[in-house]
Amino acid sequence: KAHQASKIFLEAASQAPDRQRRRLEMRSAANLMISGSIRDGMVLLQKVLDELKLSYPRSAAAALPSLHAQRTQLKERGTEFSLSSGPSDPDLLERIDIFWMAAIGLGAVDYVRAAEFHVRSLLMSLDSGDAYRIARSLAMESINAAARAPFQMGRAETLSAAANVLAQQIDH
């Protein structure tokens, strides 16, 4: 079904304005990777990232320095946030969503690059103040925290609880 969905997203993208087209192409790319069409999904992912002049690590090894730097930034910054009272910058929200979909698509095939895109999405979400994007990023971070250090479940549980509170606030 994911492969069928990718075709539907691409068909819809062909008739959409640029921002919507990129979002649909990213959904297609994620579905392609999830369905096993990894090369096609990565090509489409690269196309969208190139269009927006966003970096794409060429390999898991190439992603490690950026992942380490962003994890360090997250550790120093923390996961505190202030919710935005008004609409957020649409360009920022687009980048957050693109990084999110890249993380979802790559999660099944390249954990290191997926983690790198996830941290980018998380940091930008926290800074954006957008409740929906913060909630989903904190939820994913709770899963990653539990997977990285199962003996330290406290952080994972705290992140999960914060995501749940936000999700309830926005009725999602």
Tell me how far apart the alpha carbons of residues 138 and 127 are, in angstroms, rounded to a whole number: 13
> How many CA atoms are closer than 13 Å to the CA of 130, on its beta-carbon side?
20
User: For the chain, what's the residue count?
Assistant: 172
pLDDT number for residue 171: 80
pLDDT number for residue 129: 95
pLDDT tier at 33, thresholds 50, 70, 90: very high
Q: Which pTM value belongs to this model?
A: 0.92
pLDDT number for residue 159: 95
pLDDT number for residue 86: 81
pLDDT number for residue 44: 97
Structure tokens at 171: 């009725």
Tell me how far apart the alpha carbons of residues 45 and 30 are, in angstroms, rounded to a whole number: 8
CB 84 within 8 A of CB 128: yes
pLDDT tier at 150, thresholds 50, 70, 90: confident
Average pLDDT over residues 123-148: 94
Contacts of 22 (CB under 8 A, 6+ apart): 13, 48, 51, 52, 94, 98
How does pLDDT run across 38-51, given as a tens digit for each residue? Answer: 999 999 999 999 99
Rounded to the nearest 10 degrees, the angle between the axes of helix 131-148 and helix 153-169 is: 160
CA dihedral for 102, 108, 111, 113, sign (positive or negative) = negative
Average pLDDT over residues 108-125: 95
pLDDT tier at 151, thresholds 50, 70, 90: confident
Q: How many CB atoms lie within 10 A of CB 156?
A: 19
Kindly tell me if the per-residue pLDDT of 31 is higher than 90: yes
Average pLDDT over residues 71-92: 93
Average pLDDT over residues 156-166: 95
pLDDT number for residue 135: 97
